[in-house]
Structure 1
Amino acid sequence: MYKHLFIIMLLLLPVIASGQDEITVEMTVSSTKISIDDQLYLTVKVSGSQQNLPQPQLPSMAMFEAYSQGTSTNISIVNGQVESSLSYNYLLIPKKEGTFVIKPAAVVYNHKRYESNEVSIQVVGSGGTASNPEEIEMTTGSGQSRDLFLIAEVDKKKAYVNEQITLTIKFFHAVKLMSQPDYTAPQTTDFWADLLEEQKTYYQVVNGRRYKVIEINTALFPTRSGDLQVGSAMVEVRVPSRRSGRRSPFSMFDDIFTQGELATVRSRSIDIKVLPLPSEGKPENFTGTVGKYTFTATPDKTTVDVNQPVTVTYKFSGTGNITTVAEPQIGDLKDFRIYQASSDEKVSKVGGVIGGTKVFEEVYIPKRAGQLTIPPVEFNYFNPATKKYCTHTSKPIVLTVNAVEGEEYADLPYRPVAGRVVDPKARDIRFIKTNADDLRLKQPLIILRPQYFIINLIPILILAFVWISRRRKEKLRADIGYARSLQAKKMAKKRLGMASKLAKSGRPAEFFAEIRLAIFSYVADKLNISPHGMTGDYLLDIIKKSGAGEELVERTAGLLKNADFAQYSSASVTEDKIMKSLKDAEETLVELEGINLE
């Protein structure tokens, strides 16, 4: 009998073993119907009795922006059987409306292929689901619902060039945070950005639940017309882990030793249509100022002597991007010499509106006596509220210029050096030497000394430096394309520095996203275009047309390929691959700097 029982057990052993080796793959989403402004979470769960579960192969998700949200592991013992599962979590943001099918994820184990189910997701317009951002169902990687979420809002989605747009980022959380929130501001290429105020903290009830809200407001000024985009903001923070099923006997110590789990929330990107300033009614001397301003011109005196200075203060006050207000255009005046004495600006941020005061001081030096007039100065700006150009003209300034006895009315220097007063009285009658052969200078003339040239050269060099610096600043303000091109290398190095920090902190998906952004933004800044909407093929085509070598093109293509792959499968990225990608990115930027991008 024992012999027969032993034979039966031997026959059943392969069946039991095969049953224990079985793996299941399941794909779930937080919602199957969302609006184009919403986002959802996708989870691929691999379960089995093995200790080391294989990593799933993800399908293409081209219709979504996909961001890795990390993994979570669960081990349970039921009736003596050990069951483990590994969940891969992804945040999906739809790119366009429609119904999309995500094909099954697959796992290969012991030469056998296991597939999950497929899921269908319907993406509708903004009105298809709740459009109120506070009603969006947000879920963390472990299934936490509505514990925390992030929204982005703007006060207007259509604006003129250089008109203020207020961006508001709100981080809602209803659970205890186990770390300081790590906030990543959205990409604002093609905008001047200025933080309006310190972050605000308050409480708000949403759908019957009380949330603590951290609010950040930023003023954005578009620098060009067209369809622009404010990218997604992101917050990473550690929150308490939620465990399902039977609690461990030692769970009382969890709150003491656990660091919680990392949760990531993102806001949606925002499209903004920027209108060019109208050509109708535009003044010829318009310099691009947008807002609502007042303008005054005030002299420090109206009675002055010839060749003595009069300082006129031109003061601009109001709301708008005060930094872009240009120096008043005065022109040449035959009766005056004109110098800019100084300029100063004070930016105000009252009530969430950028404004302030900008002051230019111009020095007028009259060349002759009489009643002289400093002519009016025009100041033009565009008022987006009325959609019209406005012109303010200062009043003419009449000066009474007094003649000075013995003063020449020629074009004298600004501050003539007073000469020595020569005593006209004869001290004595000296003997006149008739032999003048030995007449010579005991010391060389002062103008022939090297010190004379050096001392007089220093002010000239300082003035030249100030002039060049001023012209450069004016060009940076007036020519956004030049400013972006000049800063492209610096910004790219800054992003590579951030990528290096992400690599050291073990965040491969974010590392490759920063590498990708560094390459795209560098090329976009050099060409003064937006990096949003650029594809890898378009980028490579630009590099090829600019005369880049095949090695540079292939290295760039490899970087972009690795970055795209890491967004969907960051767990398989090794440390060696990360460091090699960082080195390749640095070499790529060096070589891109050496070609003429066009």
Structure 2
Amino acid sequence: MHWLKSSFILTALWGLPAAAAEVDVRLSTREAVVGVPIVLQLSIHNAEDYQPPTLPDIDGCEIRSAGPPARRSQVSIINGRRSESSSDTLSYLITPRREGSFEIPSFHIQADGESLATDTLRFVATKSDSGDRLIVEITGDKEQVYVGQPLNLSLKIWLKPFRDRQRRLTLSEGDMWQMISSHSQWGSFADRIRELADGRRRPGGQEVLRTDSEGQERSYYLYEVDSTVYPTHAGSIDADEVQIVVDYPTALGPSRSPLGGLFEDDFFGSPFNNRLTITASQPIVGEARIGSTEVLPVPRDGRPDDYRGAVGQYEIVTQANPTTVDAGEPVTLNIGIAGTGPMELVQAPPLHELTDLTDDFRVADESLAGFVKQDTKLFSTTIRPRREGITAIPPIRFSYFDPDAEQFKTIYSEPISITVNPAESLAMDSIVGSSRFEQTENDATPIRGSELLPDFTNVDNPDAVLTSQVAASRQSSWWLLVVLPTLVWLAALVVKHRRALRHCLPRLRSARATCLASLQHADDGPAIVAALRQYIADRSGKPCPTNATAVGALRTLGMYPLAGEVESMMHRLDRDAGGAALLDNSSDHDEQVAQAIALVDQIESACAARGRVRLNTAKRSATDGTSKTVAQRSAGMLSAFILALTASSATAAGPVSLSPQQQRTVLAEAAQAYAEATAAGSNDSAEAQAGFEAAAAKYQLLVDSGVRNSLLYRNLANAYAQSGQRGRAIAYYERAKRLAPDDPVLSTNLQWANARVSSAPVPSSENVGADNASSVMERLLASVRAGNANVLQAIGRTRVIVVLAIASIMFWGLLTMRTLWRPFPVWRWAVLPLVAGLLCGGLLLLSDTAPPPAWNAVLVADTVTVHAGDGQAFASVQTFRDAQGQRVRVIGERGKWRQIQTPNQQPGWVEASNVLLVGPGGRVGEWESGRVGEGESGRVGEWERGRVGEWGSGGVGEWGSEE
């Protein structure tokens, strides 16, 4: 009982609830010195979880953390009672920068889900009496400057040396520099002080004479720090951010440290030997006194409209790349501005406001961000010529204020000569419309012969464009047009010759039906016996040439009673007079046949019962022996199926999520942008180019949202083609053909786009075997397939299928009519449909059995560098110029790189953004899968990745230059 009581008391004591969280705040002192920090300690007691507070701002003070929180825990047991306490202390340094009274307002701390408020604290700050010991001045090299004009400032610190009269010791200028506190504020000189500290250096001091406040010359150490500033506002130079704090020594004493005392700082170092150190000091603060330099505002009279605040002397240069383009194509314009002012603050010229530039070029209405390199700031932008025939980029002007001349100046860059050719697709202003054969003399791009012009009319019906489709299979169902009429003719043959077939194919009937038919036609006893023996042989699966073998077969099946009856009947029938005479009595004949039929029915029932028993036994044994295994396998298969679905959903790249209404809105915006660009094409190629790119971006967004539709792909390809991105146009025309192979508009537009690819041969999906053929037969077959593809494209696959259907129905219909009705000279009428059917079937068969193309991707960049590995660090294998639209085969992927096989069969790696997969899924390996997958989310604007200096530089490995 005593043990239970003690246990209960101990449990009660240990189960006492923890103390509630508390917070208190305190200051190290209530009277501070300007420039010298005081410590604010915030203690949080008995809190398991808390959020560090954000201290309020205090005007005239700087607040910063003094380090990580300090954790303290304590456990005490008094008179058998156990108590725990913990506290976290957060320390902050508060540095007053001016005299006055300051208040730290109450703030809240979240601890254990509660909001705890602190008390309000007050303290005062006074200036230390530095006397003549510390003097700080800032002087400029000019008496008058303009806002933004560079001004060289010099920070001068006069510090009186400390003298220990008892030891007759004077601290050196290095010792006194060490006394400058790390709590000093350096203002615009901070970068220079940090630079010296990083180099383990300090400003050099020299001993000079200076008159003090009493008019007597005293010895001082003078330290000078130089800096260049750019005033940001008119008036006087702001020196409030400079405040020098010195821990001025008041006494020296023996050092207790074997290393020489208290000064081991990397920046200030230890100025003392192992014998003496500072034992007492007094903080003194030096407020900087500024010179008489006056800052004047930049005048407003005569200020140019394009002035953007530059002050100083400047020069401007420009560079364009490329210098030969088609109307509407981008030109990279680089602008370099060099000068004496603060280059970080220099802004680019407002190009969109320069009418002499915007009249001929489309310029983005945006400010340019540049980067500073030494004394030059570089800007880069893209401009587009609006029409053909432009011969130069006009000079770019830049205005600035020259403070020496006290006037505004405007400088100009040199004009840049360029050549602007007619837009490749926009030159034919009648190109948007129905496809047709024509040749005009006014077209800027000549049409060879009777070339079929493309149809760039987009379809914007949401119901037609936003409905996903499944890729068309390589093996179509046209062969049913041949098979079904043939089956009808065969059925007619069967109907006409059904009697002959019934006798020629008796085995098509069951064993019982065959036996009953034989019994009905039996004329004597031996015929009945023969019918029974044949029936028993069919049911037992064993030959029964004699009565004894037939009876034995029944006994083998376990039908002993029936075997006896069959044996008796056979013996009775064999006693007939040699079995050669007919039965004299028809009633006896019928009775014998009826008995035989009854035996057949009994054998049939016994066989059926025996089969059910055997089947049930097998099922029971299988269930008893493998039910657990089957259940386990089923569960395993189900789990594997679920895991596969989960993995596929987890690894599949999620498309852009758009609701049906959002898709309709995006489609409408794309259609509007496309229509506006089409309308602007004849007057302003640059505006049209930008409009087509905007439309392509909208259509691309729909593709990225998961819509797989041939009309959407065609719309996107048209927008890419009109904006000059022929590589992407070809890729999406090819994707559209995978979904709608019989669309004549796609074939025409793709042929037009292929004709504008560089001089390298363009492989097609029908003739890819010709280049790699190793024998005469293979080359001949490849040529036949190529010719077949040309014929099929010229006629139209749909027309060929219609002709095949009519020919097949006519030919087999004529044969069917001749079979069912009276004969007539069928070949007189059937030769023509037979020939037409054979020709159409051959065209379709060659097309559907063509090998898959040897390429599965299209290059979409003008310049493509092939590397030996998947990274820029690997050696360059080849560099192809004017590569956009060329076909390659992607054979591997790794991160943001894809391995391709180039036209000369040399593998290499290119950036994934430079190649676009043409397969239905946009992934490697899905070219032949026929699945609808995630499309390649190419983005408009990737043509701008080319760098300055690479245009027109030539190089080894141009397309078509290697055998």
Question: What TM-score comes out, normalization by structure 2 length?
Answer: 0.27
Task: Decide which structure has the larger Cα Rg and report it.
Answer: 2
Structure with the larger helix share: 2
Task: Considering Cα pairs closer than 8 Å and 6+ residues apart, tell me whether 1 or 2 has the greater RCO.
Answer: 1
Structure with the larger strand share: 1
